[in-house]
Amino acid sequence: MKLEALQKKLLAAARADTPSDRVPLAFEKRVLAHLQQRPAIDPAALWARALWRAVIPCVAVSVILATVTFLPIGNSTAGAETPDLSQVFEQTLLASSAEQVQWEDYW
């Protein structure tokens, strides 16, 4: 069977089959009723929904941070001082301001 010819024939059949444009009775009333029923946007509800959605990621991040903070992680090299997480965190946060102070001294 020639697939090319079959394809053309079937597409011609589809073209010949024009879909109906009949509209169900009082369809516009149904749409309008639906539009009027829609509640107005409530900012408080949106905020509450966003908070609920944020719960799981926040809990997950908290668990990961707690694990990292409290569990001793593998490579505790003998004799070497374990860096204090709080100090490292503080240095990282204040790094930009420390650089700024240095530049101000320079100028």
In whole angstroms, the minimum distance from the beta carbon of 45 to another protein comes to: 17
- Tell whether residue 15 is a contact of another protein (CB under 8 A): yes
86 vs 89: CA distance, rounded Å? 5
Site string for another protein, 37-76 (x = CB under 8 A): -x--------------------------------------
20 vs 18: CA distance, rounded Å? 7
The residue behind tokens 């908070």 is: 51
The residue behind tokens 């490292």 is: 88
- Tell whether residue 5 is a contact of another protein (CB under 8 A): yes
Report angle CA 17, 23, 25 to the nearest 5 degrees: 145
In whole angstroms, the minimum distance from the beta carbon of 33 to another protein comes to: 9
Point out which residues bind another protein (CB under 8 A).
1-7, 9-24, 27-28, 30-32, 34-36, 38
